[in-house]
């Protein structure tokens, strides 16, 4: 019976697997090197949990910020966000972290898994983002804006702004010591020189981006 069964079915040809994987790995190696050196931009769209972003310096153009439609439903209640968009930004010492409570398994229960992404730690090679849309709950830093409008109609700033909403817009923005918490980040492209991605485990307060 075992014999007949086997004959009617199939299995993996590892030679073929290798034949497929070798070029793939080579291509990924090139791609990965491009990403890690900042030559190849990547796309981000993250939402659903609070994550933390810090940077030594952010220098951006076409900044807007406005109160956004309350759209995140957390524990039955809606959470408000301040939506901020920057069409192009150079970011030095970017550090982004996400903490996820680990499942209730022996050894890891009660702990938090942290994912940390850093890039652009050389001043002459900052990380670069375009089409950045951040739904934030908190932002801190020393900021300088150029050609700023305060009180502009939010719907004129973005499709996602509300008609009659109170918004800010500036041609340029510089933020020193940026520290922000956000619910979602969407970036059209992100170039991440000296990309470093690491995972760690710790308590809920052990944020790797301090």
Partner 1 sequence: MTAETTSARERLTRARLAFRRWRRSRPFWGGLLLLLSGALIFYSGNLDLGNLQVHLGLPGFQSYVIPLVLALCGLLGWFSPAQRIFYGVIGLLAAVYSLVGANLGGFVLGFVVGTFGGGLMVAWVPHKHPSVASGSDTTAHHEDIPEDVQESQGLGVLQPEGAADDAGQSEGDTTQPPLVPTQARHAQPDDEPAGDDEAPEGKQGERFPRPRHAADQPDVAGETQRSISTVRWSPRTVVAIVTAAVVAAIGAVTLPTAATAAAETCASQQLTQLLNNAKSGKISTKPGAENQSKAPSKKRSTGTTSKSTKSGASSTSGSAAADAEGSAVLASVPAYGPIDPITGLIGKLLGDDPTPDPSPSAAPSSDPTPDPTPSTDPTPSPKPSGEPTTGKPTGKPTDEPKPPSGPGKTVTPSPSPSVICSTPKQLDAAKGQPNVADKPGKMTATLETLHGLSFDGVVDLPTHSGTVKALQFSMDSAISTPFDLQPAPKDGEKIDIKSSQLTVSGNVKFYCSEMKGNLLGVVPVDFTVDSPPPLVLQELFFTDVTFQLVFVYADELTADNLDISVS
Q: How far apart are CA 145 and CA 139, in angstroms?
A: 15
Reading the block at residue 35, the tokens are 């990403």
Which of 145, 154, 158 minimizes the C-alpha distance to 186?
158
Q: Which stretch binds partner 1 (CB under 8 A): 53-61, 105-113, 186-194, 200-208?
A: 186-194
Counting Cα atoms < 13 Å in the Cβ hemisphere of 150 gives 2
Give the residue, chosen from 33, 100, 196, 203, that forms a contact with partner 1 under the rule CB under 8 A.
Answer: 100
Q: What is the largest CA-CA distance in the chain?
A: 80
Give the residue, chosen from 105, 107, 163, 205, that forms a contact with partner 1 under the rule CB under 8 A.
Answer: 163
Q: Which stretch binds partner 1 (CB under 8 A): 52-60, 106-114, 159-167, 200-208?
A: 159-167
Reading the block at residue 63, the tokens are 């900044």
Minimum CB distance to partner 1 smaller for 124 or for 164: 164
Q: Look at residue 156 and give its three-state secondary structure.
A: helix
Task: Give the contacts of 63 (CB within 8 A, at least 6 positions apart).
Answer: 84, 85, 86, 145, 168, 169, 170, 171, 172, 173
Minimum CB distance to partner 1 smaller for 48 or for 202: 48
Q: Which stretch binds partner 1 (CB under 8 A): 45-53, 102-110, 120-128, 201-209?
A: 45-53
Query: For residue 19, which phi and psi values (nearest 5 degrees)?
Result: -65, -35
Binding mask 108-147 for partner 1 (x = CB under 8 A): -------x-x-------------x-x--xxxxxxxxxxxx
48 is a contact residue toward partner 1 (CB under 8 A): yes
Minimum CB distance to partner 1 smaller for 1 or for 105: 1
What's the min distance (Å) between Cβ of 77 and partner 1? Answer: 10
4 is a contact residue toward partner 1 (CB under 8 A): yes
Minimum CB distance to partner 1 smaller for 100 or for 200: 100
């Amino acid at each position: 019976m075992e014999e007949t069964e086997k004959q009617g079915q199939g299995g993996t040809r590892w030679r073929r697997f290798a034949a497929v994987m070798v070029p793939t790995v080579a291509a990924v190696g090139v791609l990965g090197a491009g990403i890690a050196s900042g030559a190849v931009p990547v796309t981000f769209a993250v939402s659903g949990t609070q994550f933390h972003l810090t940077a030594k310096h952010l220098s951006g153009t076409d900044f807007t910020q406005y109160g956004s439609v309350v759209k995140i439903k957390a524990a039955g209640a809606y959470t408000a966000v301040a939506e901020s968009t920057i069409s192009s930004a150079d970011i030095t010492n970017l550090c982004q972290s996400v903490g996820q409570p680990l499942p209730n398994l022996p050894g890891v229960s009660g702990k938090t898994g942290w994912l940390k992404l850093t890039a652009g730690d050389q001043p002459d090679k900052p990380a670069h983002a375009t089409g950045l849309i951040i739904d934030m709950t908190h932002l801190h830093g020393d900021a300088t804006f150029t050609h700023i409008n305060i009180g502009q109609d939010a719907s004129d700033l973005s499709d996602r702004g509300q008609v009659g909403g109170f918004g800010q817009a500036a041609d340029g923005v510089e933020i020193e010591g940026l520290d922000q918490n956000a619910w979602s980040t969407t970036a059209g492209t992100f170039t991440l020189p000296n990309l470093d991605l690491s995972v760690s485990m710790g308590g809920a307060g052990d944020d790797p981006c301090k």
